[in-house]
Structure 1
Amino acid sequence: MSDPAAPQPGPLRPHEASGPAAQHARQAERDCRLDPKVSEALRDAGFARHFVPARWGGQEGSFLHCLEAVAEVSRADPSAGWCAAIAASLSRMAAFLPEEGQRTVWEHGPDALVVGALVPGGSAQAAPGGWLLGGRWPYVSGVHASDAALLAAQVPVTGGRKQVRFLLVPRSAYGIERTWDTVGMRGTGSDTLVLDQVYVPVTHTFLLTELASGRGPGGAPACLTVPLKNVSGLTFAAPVLGAVRGALEAWSRAVVRKRAAARPGQEPSVSAELDLARSTAQADAAELLLTRAAHDADRLLLSDEWSGARAQRDQVAAVDLLLDAADRLQRTGGTGAQSVHGDFQRFWRDARTAAGHAVLQWEPAARRFGAAHLARTAADGK
């Protein structure tokens, strides 16, 4: 019998995007951005609408289904999977906007591609009913295919204070400076968004504290009520999971080809089986950790500090396991694994680059969990 509380599968169709992503992966590396056909395939596959409220035609989808779908696309091209994750995550963020702001994003349908910058940048000046916003925001993934952007900025409020808000700006308001040229995740097109001064009304903004705490607008769907730091790692760990799965497949195919070309009577080395077993076990363990975190988020089980801290810990620990698995394959893959013409090295570089994201660093996650666990232990002992 199915669990009636379990989220039902939405219309995410990652297989529809995986083919175009694989076909254009090498071109995306050269261009440092996704081919427009791939961006449209991600939109058509349902990533942009996944977390959008149902009243706008969205799915109010689950974290687990998003994790699985992003990982599947990332097995074809991690850069495309990263942009898929951004499309879903930023639509979830846009649902924190007031009614007028949400209408601006989704009045023509739930598939608007929203991008964003979570690190405050630019400058904001107070204006009647809102702010004048301008400046530069680097590392905006997927910006070339975007319909709108949510930009974090320090905005002035009464008493000379400042607060961090996300401000919605339409695609017509900003330009793009080509600044993205990296070792891995090259196809994400994470270039710099440049904005001349534009007026943004308060109804097109929301506070960072609302997103961080999961305090969305009244009547918000369950997927908006989870505090950001309890699930933000899922957005960026899912492409790493897919990248390492892709690396395992490429590595295994290379071993099979090498053995098929061996001289008659030449005994194959057993080290390949040992390395493969260890790396696949680590990838499976990482997937289990990520699945538990997503499962708990979907069932609203991350409301207390200990549970949220464990979920954050698990997301980062999963990435550490995945990197260890990929590094082992890279060390033992021979000269063929280093070829720039092969797929393995691209998956490996992409996994390594994605893991450098701020939310996937071990120390903050470990310190948070350690503090929460010791506090719970002390409370239990009273």
Structure 2
Amino acid sequence: MLDHAQPHNGLATAAADIAETVADRAASAEAARRLDPDVVKAVVSAGFARHFVPARHGGKAGTFVELSAAVATLGESCPATAWSASLFANLARMAAFLPAAGFAEIWADGPDAVVVGSLIPVGRAEAVDGGWRLSGTWPYVSAVDYADWVLLCGMVPTERTPQARMFAVPRSACEIIHDWSSIGMQATGSNTVIVKDVFVPAARSFDRGDLFTGRAVDSTAACHSVPLQAANGLSFVTPALGAARGALASWTAYVSEKVRVGRQPGRPIVSPTPFELVLAESSTDIDAAGMLLARASAVADRGTAVTKEETARNLRDCAVVVRRLTDAVDRLFRAAGTTGQSTASPIQRFWRDVNAASTHVALQLEPAASAYADHYLRD
């Protein structure tokens, strides 16, 4: 595996410790279209679920720099596992925007409760005595089979325009439709969640707008004070960074052997020159992506000090980075040839997963470019 700079920290070290198990279960997880239960246990034990949990409930209220490095480490073994681990951390971060009484319920049994969810406002809720009644259908909720809580977004009617609110619902109150059929990120088990007229106490709900402004109700930790748009792209692009590194490592090992065999007497000569160009260009793209994401992570860790310009730059960087990573992995895939593209090769899995990740709504370049341009072209 090629070297790349990575900060030394507890979560990244824990991720490296479970990487072999994660890699060993990657193919079977794809076939099952859900993570292996032992892998989920390992991810939770490593500290991903508790990473952004408030310290008062046993969590770390940790940093994006630490999380990004750890997620990328997992992504080198299995991007779908990295994706899920990233969301375990980031959805717990969002749960900390609940009132204290609400998040005390989420972590009543400890900081390792698994929270998943969706910010898509496709549900509907109505106010009732003591809380809300929530109903709706939410597609693409990753790793929901292993959740303890599901954080869902619903629209609430008001006198003017409907308001988007977040609702924390026990996994036991949800119906799961196993309809995940994507060609990439297969093992994420991003299935559909249905909630039918479920009562949600007032303390387990908050205004979705608070996520975008970084205005947590009962926490002042930096990780609970950063505007969502300054941090959200990191949730989805860091697994792709790990996947690209994994693709590069697999491709390099495969091509090295191919060139070595081609030097043996009586074997067709394999010129290394085309591979050298691919290696140089793709490795540079991947290294540059890592540097940009390290900067974006450090910006997100500034919490309330993050400026509007920095928020727009983080949006831009995440969207551009995922394009560079996709280009790099596409280049490796093309250069791998027929044998390297075999279903027995991990290169094709990394290729599918990076391309699938690149389509996420949080990583689209057009809206990110528009937001960035607002600060420089439309004053």
TM norm. shorter chain > 0.5? yes
Cα deviation, residue 164, structure 1:
0.4
Mapped contact 2:97–2:219 kept (Cα < 8 A): no
Query: Matched residues in 1 for 2:337 and 2:356: separation?
Result: 22
- Give the match for residue 56 of structure 1: 57
- Give the match for residue 345 of structure 1: 348
* Residue 283, structure 1, aligned to residue 324, structure 2: no
1:274-304 per-residue CA deviation (whole Å, 9 max, x = no partner) reads 1101100000011111111111221348632
Worse overlay, 117-126 or 27-36: 117-126
- Give the match for residue 210 of structure 2: 210
* Residue 231, structure 1, aligned to residue 231, structure 2: yes
- Give the match for residue 3 of structure 1: none
Cα deviation, residue 135, structure 1:
2.5
Query: Matched residues in 2 for 1:219 and 1:335: separation?
Result: 53
Query: Matched residues in 2 for 1:324 and 1:56: separation?
Result: 42
* Pairing 1:170-319 to 2, within 5 Å after superposition: 170-262=170-262, 263-264=264-265, 266=269, 268-300=271-303, 303-319=306-322
Code of the aligned partner of 1:168: A
Query: Matched residues in 2 for 1:291 and 1:160: separation?
Result: 42
Code of the aligned partner of 1:200: V
Q: Percent identity?
A: 44
Query: Matched residues in 2 for 1:323 and 1:194: separation?
Result: 33
1:153-200 per-residue CA deviation (whole Å, 9 max, x = no partner) reads 00234x364210010111211121111011100000000112222101
- Unpaired segments of 5 or more residues in structure 1? 1-6
Distance 1:348 1:267, change over 3 A: closer
1:32-80 per-residue CA deviation (whole Å, 9 max, x = no partner) reads 1101111111100100000111000000110011000000001000000
Mapped contact 1:47–1:87 kept (Cα < 8 A): yes
Worse overlay, 290-299 or 60-69: 290-299
Code of the aligned partner of 2:222: A
Worse overlay, 68-77 or 11-20: 11-20
Cα deviation, residue 251, structure 1:
0.6
SS in 2 for 1:49: coil
Code of the aligned partner of 1:227: P
TM-score of the two chains, using structure 2 as the length reference: 0.94
SS in 2 for 1:334: helix
Distance 1:11 1:183, change over 3 A: closer
SS in 2 for 1:217: coil
Code of the aligned partner of 1:209: G
Query: Matched residues in 2 for 1:20 and 1:205: separation?
Result: 37
* Pairing 1:105-120 to 2, within 5 Å after superposition: 105-120=106-121
SS in 2 for 1:18: helix
SS in 2 for 1:373: coil
Mapped contact 1:131–1:155 kept (Cα < 8 A): no
Code of the aligned partner of 1:211: L
Query: Matched residues in 2 for 1:163 and 1:281: separation?
Result: 45
- Give the match for residue 333 of structure 1: 336
Distance 1:283 1:291, change over 3 A: same
Mapped contact 2:58–2:111 kept (Cα < 8 A): yes
- Give the match for residue 168 of structure 1: 168
- Give the match for residue 4 of structure 1: none
Query: Matched residues in 2 for 1:55 and 1:293: separation?
Result: 27
Mapped contact 1:16–1:41 kept (Cα < 8 A): no
Cα deviation, residue 121, structure 1:
1.9
Distance 1:213 1:10, change over 3 A: farther
Query: Matched residues in 1 for 2:36 and 2:79: separation?
Result: 14
SS in 2 for 1:261: helix
**Aligned residues, how many?**
369
Cα deviation, residue 125, structure 1:
2.6
Distance 1:267 1:77, change over 3 A: closer
- Unpaired segments of 5 or more residues in structure 2? 1-6
Cα deviation, residue 211, structure 1:
0.6
Query: Matched residues in 1 for 2:32 and 2:147: separation?
Result: 17
TM-score of the two chains, using structure 1 as the length reference: 0.93
Q: CA RMSD in A?
A: 1.7
* Residue 40, structure 1, aligned to residue 41, structure 2: yes
